[in-house]
């Protein structure tokens, strides 16, 4: 069903008044459209990536070559989602931000949203070119994020990401188990 603003009530899941272009650590989760298992299979305690999973992996790594303000930390490409820790570095010099920016829709430059949008766009283009399915959705509309506020929280998220393949059989996003 197409989005209809009269019956669908979309609301932001972001922290109100939080600057997602500010320096800090973020835990992000990006899910495939309809939780389709596009990226691979979990075998034992690791993920065997498909060609589409390799594209997602490569495009995630490529993010830092295009964005000097981004440092990637722990991440995993799962069959139908990606978990990652991202550090946004402090801005140096001109930021490209404008007071008129509020008039423009879309993510702010050099922000977490801009990183996610760029990654999704690049991965989608490559994936759909391989599948011969231009315009087909690869990702769900939004993404989940959590601001990491302490070293102990960072360590816990790293461990969660590392353990994700091992825990795949219990993962609520594993549609094979929910059936």
Residue 15 lies in a domain: no
Torsion angle (degrees, nearest 10) of CA 25, 142, 58, 153: 20
56, 15, 14: which is closest to 38 by C-alpha? 56
Q: Is the pLDDT of residue 179 over 90?
A: no
For residue 76, what is the domain's CATH number?
3.30.70.1290
Higher pLDDT, 90 or 42: 42
Residue 113 lies in a domain: yes
Beta pairing, strands 24-31 & 144-148: antiparallel
Half-sphere exposure for 25 (CA within 13 Å, toward CB): 15
Q: What is the mean pLDDT of residues 3-24?
A: 62
Q: What is the mean pLDDT of residues 48-53?
A: 98
Residue 163 lies in a domain: yes
Q: Is the pLDDT of residue 132 over 60?
A: yes
Domain span holding position 65: 24-90+104-169
E-assigned strands of the chain? 24-31, 40-43, 46-49, 70-77, 81-88, 144-148
Report residue 140: phi and psi, to 5°: -70, 160
Torsion angle (degrees, nearest 10) of CA 15, 57, 52, 161: -60
Q: What is the mean pLDDT of residues 79-88?
A: 97
Residue 97 lies in a domain: no
Q: Which residues of 90-127 are buried (b: 16+ CB within 10 A; e: fewer)?
A: eeeeeeeeeeeeeeeeeebebbbbbbbebbbebbbebb
Coil, strand, or helix at residue 41?
Answer: strand
Q: How many domains does the chain have?
A: 1
Confidence band for 19, pLDDT divided at 50, 70 and 90? low
pLDDT tens digits along 85-111: 999 998 665 545 544 444 555 666 779
Residue 53 lies in a domain: yes
Q: What's the pTM?
A: 0.82
Residue 139 lies in a domain: yes
Please, what is the Cα angle at 83 between 164 and 137, to 5 degrees?
120
Please, what is the Cα angle at 61 between 55 and 64, to 5 degrees?
140
Pick the range with the lowest mean pLDDT from 26-30, 58-62, 82-86, 89-93. 89-93
Decide: 127 and 52 in contact? Cβ < 8 Å. yes
């Amino acid at each position: 069903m197409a989005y209809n603003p009269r019956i669908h009530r979309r609301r932001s899941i972001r922290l109100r008044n939080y600057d997602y272009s500010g320096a800090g650590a973020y835990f992000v989760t990006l899910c495939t459209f309809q939780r389709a298992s596009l990226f691979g299979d979990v075998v034992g305690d690791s993920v065997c990536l498909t060609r589409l999973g390799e594209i997602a992996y490569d495009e995630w790594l490529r993010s830092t070559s295009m964005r000097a303000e981004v440092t990637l930390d722990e991440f995993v490409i799962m069959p139908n989602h990606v978990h990652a820790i991202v550090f946004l570095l402090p801005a140096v010099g001109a930021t490209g931000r404008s007071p008129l920016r509020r008039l423009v829709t879309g993510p702010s430059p050099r922000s977490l949203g801009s990183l996610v949008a760029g990654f999704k766009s690049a991965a989608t283009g490559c994936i759909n070119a391989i599948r011969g399915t231009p315009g087909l959705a690869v990702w769900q509309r939004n993404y989940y994020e959590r601001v990491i506020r302490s070293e102990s929280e960072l360590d816990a998220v790293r461990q969660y990401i590392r353990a994700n393949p091992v825990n795949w059989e219990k993962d609520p996003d594993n549609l094979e188990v929910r059936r």
